[in-house]
Amino acid sequence: MKPDEKQLELNRAVTEIAEEIGKNFSQDEKLYKTFLNCYASTAKTTSRFLEDGEVFVFTGDIEAMWLRDSSAQVVHYLPFAKKYPIIGEFIKGLIKRQMRYIAIDSYANAFNEEANGRCWEVDLTASNPWDWERKYEVDSLCYPIWLLHEYWEVTGDTSVFTEAVKEVFIKIIDQWKKEQNHSSDSDYSFVRLNCPPSDTLTRDGQGEPCGYTGMTWSGFRPSDDACQYGYLVPSNMFAVTILGFMKEITETFYKDSALSEGIDKLRGEIEDGIKKFGIVSQEGFGEIYAYETDGLGNYNLMDDANVPSLMSIPWLGYSEKSDRIYQNTRRFILSKMNPYYYEGSCAKGIGSPHTPQQYIWHIALTMQGLTAETRKEQEELLQVILRSDAGCQLMHEGFHCDDPSKFTREWFAWANSLFALFVMQLYNN
């Protein structure tokens, strides 16, 4: 089939799936229509099949493809990748494109469809014409491996485990090991001129000083904002999960004991670093996870709406929902002790320094629902989300906690996909 024919078949498949799931709550017109819109959003508005069998998934109102966002944008399609071959082909094509991007530049977070030199800004960093933006984020390397593993688990398709994928594994391991000692071993730097401090790294693009912890350094958060301290704890937690996936794939398919041992060693070092440097005692809450640390005694106690977040720890596969430290952390970040937790007349929840104060994110609300232990909390969150969409029947980035008609990004496919996944979980699909 030609790319446009594949696109039509994908659109038909997601419409059929959404309508079938929607039968469970078709009596709730607002929920039904919002779910249908959100479920179809990625396939119908942000995806392109390419001639080479690859797939380009852009983020919505920004033309570039983020490694993180593109993975999260298809999470709600994964359960149907075997039943509907076009969905399997779609996700497989996306994985192939992601692996090619990482091979081109493993420090970039977002890419162009072609090597056309378009970019968010002309930054002082070692960019190439494929890079839309070169903010180094640990989670940008985690998400494609997570998607690869989930695709394999659902479909059983082992043809995705190519030599190119193995080379990407090696590249990621080498980079994460190098960034354990960022100040001495890394040549990565990033400077953006004439911008807010959150858009660039300090000290001529090196970032603030860090001591060795065993964790791997990240220049930026999944919000694309600069880290205050270089060891971003939830992203390192995600790395622990992903390294487990990489080991499983390496032992099962590549039969490379040296690579497997290297993966296991790095995983242990990062996990030890989280336990030794990522946990602090907070009065009234007990032991909690810090959002960031520098290994020099400084901690950033907060959470951000973007995933990986502290809220998302169980969803990342790092711990169980019932884990004591996670539950302590959850209470902390859902309190006014978290500087980005807001309460208003319409909603209460977590926002981000990436958006204005008092703006809550739909991603944070859906992730709170996905990690909630009770049906009651999930149903309450669903109602908050539905009444905070400004009548658009789609998700946004952030909205004002008192007035949802004030919002950022009306076309944000990541938020739509995560909401669809939340509804599917709530209605047992």
Reported as a single tens digit per residue, the pLDDT across 384-400 is: 999 999 999 999 999 99
Q: Where are the alpha helices (DSSP H) in 179-227?
A: 182-185, 202-205
CATH fold of 3-426: Glycosyltransferase (1.50.10)
> What's residue 108's pLDDT?
98
Taking alpha carbons only, the member of 74, 68, 188 closest to residue 124 is: 188
> What's residue 22's pLDDT?
97
SS3 content of the chain, % helix, strand, coil (to 5): 50, 10, 40
Residue 423 pLDDT more than 90? yes
Residue 429 pLDDT more than 80? no
Q: What is the pLDDT of residues 397-419, one digit of tens each?
A: 999 999 999 999 999 999 999 99
Q: What is the pLDDT of residues 323-359, one digit of tens each?
A: 999 999 999 999 999 999 999 999 999 999 999 999 9
Taking alpha carbons only, the member of 145, 99, 138, 144 closest to residue 245 is: 145
| DSSP secondary structure letters along 247-271 | HHHIIIII--HHHHHHHHHHHHHHH
Taking alpha carbons only, the member of 132, 21, 124 closest to residue 68 is: 132
The rounded distance, in Å, linking the Cα atoms of 242 and 289 is 19
Residue 305 pLDDT more than 90? yes
411 alpha carbon, distance to own chain's centre: 17
Q: What 8-state DSSP symbol labels residue 198?
A: G
Residue 428 pLDDT more than 90? no
Residue 207 token pair: 């970032």
Q: What is the pLDDT of residues 121-144, one digit of tens each?
A: 999 999 999 999 999 999 999 999
Residue 223 token pair: 């919000």
Mean pLDDT of 212-235: 98
| pLDDT > 90: percent of the chain | 100
Residue 38 pLDDT more than 80? yes
**Please, which pLDDT band fits residue 233 given cuts at 50, 70 and 90?**
very high
Q: CB neighbours (10 Å) of residue 6?
A: 20
Taking alpha carbons only, the member of 124, 102, 38 closest to residue 410 is: 38
Q: What is the pLDDT of residues 171-205, one digit of tens each?
A: 999 999 999 999 999 999 999 999 999 999 999 99
* Spatial CB neighbours of 86, under 8 Å, sequence gap ≥ 6: 6, 9, 10, 13
> What's residue 165's pLDDT?
98
> What's residue 345's pLDDT?
97
Burial (CB count <10 Å: 0-12, 13-18, 19+), residue 60: buried
The rounded distance, in Å, linking the Cα atoms of 159 and 179 is 31
Average pLDDT, whole number, for the chain?
Answer: 98
* Spatial CB neighbours of 177, under 8 Å, sequence gap ≥ 6: 216, 266
Helices and strands of the chain, counted as H and E runs: 14, 14
- Say whether the peptide bond before residue 404 is cis (omega within 30 degrees of 0): no
* Spatial CB neighbours of 288, under 8 Å, sequence gap ≥ 6: 279, 280, 281, 282, 301, 325, 328, 329, 332
Q: What 8-state DSSP symbol labels residue 225?
A: P
Mean pLDDT of 57-68: 97
